[in-house]
Amino acid sequence: MSELHPPTTTVLAPEPRSNWSRRDFIKGVIASGVTVSGVSYFGAGLTPRLSAQIGGVERLLSLAVNGQTRRVDVLPGETLAMTLRYKLGLTGTKLGCDRGECGACTVLLDGVTNYSCSTLTHRVRGREITTVEGLEGEDGTLHPVQQAFIDELGPQCGFCTPGQVMSAVALLRRNPNPTRAEARTAMSGNLCRCGAYEHYLNGVMRAAQEA
Ligand code: FES
Ligand code: FES
């Protein structure tokens, strides 16, 4: 009888225990290695044939995320938001509308704002991806935009905040001294169901002054 060998490229996710929360499960997957399979999220228990019918075959990609190289198995039609949140554990990126309308999923690609819900992960190979988790300093110091948003009481429920932060960071990198009108235009792709727009604008202007 031939000896069985474990797979060489995919680290299987741990079995979810009944008392685990979904967040615990995701953390467990992240802790299991830098290469993770999405099968647990996109079709646990599916046969390879059925999985292929639904989403095609995963391919191993190397992505540049927050200054690190992350290796991850990605389905052909998988969006960057799904990869970031459910395979790489970067849940700071939020999913709101999931169709390019609200801005909650905003990340930076080579410093430019991008809706990650409307971007295929396969299309961002070789690009520098920055999420909200990549903004704070090594000592945990918040980015000036994050601190300014807190100081100006920007977040209400906070769901839109990561996307708002990413848009503000991109703006101030290309225009460190925007007018309020310029800031309003730059932030117009980020909706806030709590209506905290003026607070976020105050935060952008404060961050620009304090930079
Ligand atoms: S979740 Fe991407 S734009 Fe709304
Ligand atoms: S703070 Fe609640 S959606 Fe913006």
Distance from the alpha carbon of residue 138 to the mean position of ligand 2, in angstroms: 27
Whether residue 57 lies inside any domain: the answer is yes
Per residue of the chain (211 residues), what is the pLDDT tens digit? 333 333 333 333 333 444 545 444 333 333 333 334 444 444 433 345 545 554 689 999 999 999 999 999 999 999 999 999 999 999 999 999 999 999 999 999 999 999 999 999 999 999 999 999 999 999 999 999 999 999 999 999 999 999 999 999 999 999 999 999 999 999 999 999 999 999 999 999 999 999 7
Whether residue 192 lies inside any domain: the answer is yes
Whether 73 and 32 share a structural domain: yes
Whether 45 and 111 share a structural domain: yes
Q: What ligand has the least distance to the C-alpha of 196?
A: 2
83 Cα distance to chain centroid: 8
Predicted TM-score (pTM) of this structure? 0.77
- How many domains are there within the chain? 2
Ligand 2 proximity of 192 Cβ (cutoff 6 Å) = yes
Whether residue 182 lies inside any domain: the answer is yes
Whether residue 40 lies inside any domain: the answer is yes
- The interaxial angle of helices 144-151 and 197-210, nearest 10 deg, is 130
Q: Which atom of ligand 2 is nearest to the CA of 156?
A: 1
Whether 173 and 106 share a structural domain: no
Whether 54 and 120 share a structural domain: yes
What range does the domain containing 191 cover? 144-210
d(CA 191, CA 37): 33
Distance from the alpha carbon of residue 77 to the mean position of ligand 2, in angstroms: 29
For tokens 């960057």, the residue is 80
Ligand 1 proximity of 107 Cβ (cutoff 6 Å) = no
CA atoms within 13 A on the CB side of 69: 4
SS3 109: strand
